[in-house]
């Protein structure tokens, strides 16, 4: 599935979840899925916790996060020699 099709799975509605990006048709924030992935959960483990989601929903969250990382500056400390 290409990136555009994946991104169609994400929705933002000011009346749902305070306007945060969610998986379309669900009240599950993109940031929640990204947090779960960042703690080491696999896609399969996330799908076990949220069986109504699909693998494409999880990949859509990653695609959305990638798009947003191109738009936002994150202050990361410089690596310093030991």
Residue 23, phi then psi, degrees to nearest 5: -70, 125
Average pLDDT by consecutive 10-residue portion of the chain (82 residues)? 90 90 95 98 98 97 91 63 60
Domain count along the chain: 1
pLDDT, position 40: 97
* Distances 49 to 12, 18, 45, 52, 74 between C-alpha atoms, Å: 23, 23, 6, 9, 30
Residue 74 lies in a domain: no
pLDDT, position 9: 94
For residue 23, count other CB atoms closer than 10 A to its CB: 24
Residue 78 lies in a domain: no
pLDDT, position 77: 64
Domain that holds residue 33: 3-69
- Here the CATH number for the domain that contains residue 62 is 1.10.10.10
Residue 40 lies in a domain: yes
Rounded distance between C-alpha atoms, residue 9 and residue 16, angstroms:
15
Residue 77 lies in a domain: no
For residue 10, count other CB atoms closer than 10 A to its CB: 18
Residue 75 lies in a domain: no
């Amino acid at each position: 599935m290409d990136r555009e099709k994946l991104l169609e799975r994400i929705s933002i509605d000011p009346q749902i979840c305070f306007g945060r990006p969610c998986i379309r048709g669900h009240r599950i924030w993109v940031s929640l899925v990204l947090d779960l992935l960042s703690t080491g959960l696999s896609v399969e483990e996330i799908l076990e916790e949220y069986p109504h989601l699909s693998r494409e929903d999880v990949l859509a969250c990653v695609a959305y996060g990638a798009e947003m990382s191109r738009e936002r500056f994150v202050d990361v400390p410089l690596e310093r020699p030991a």
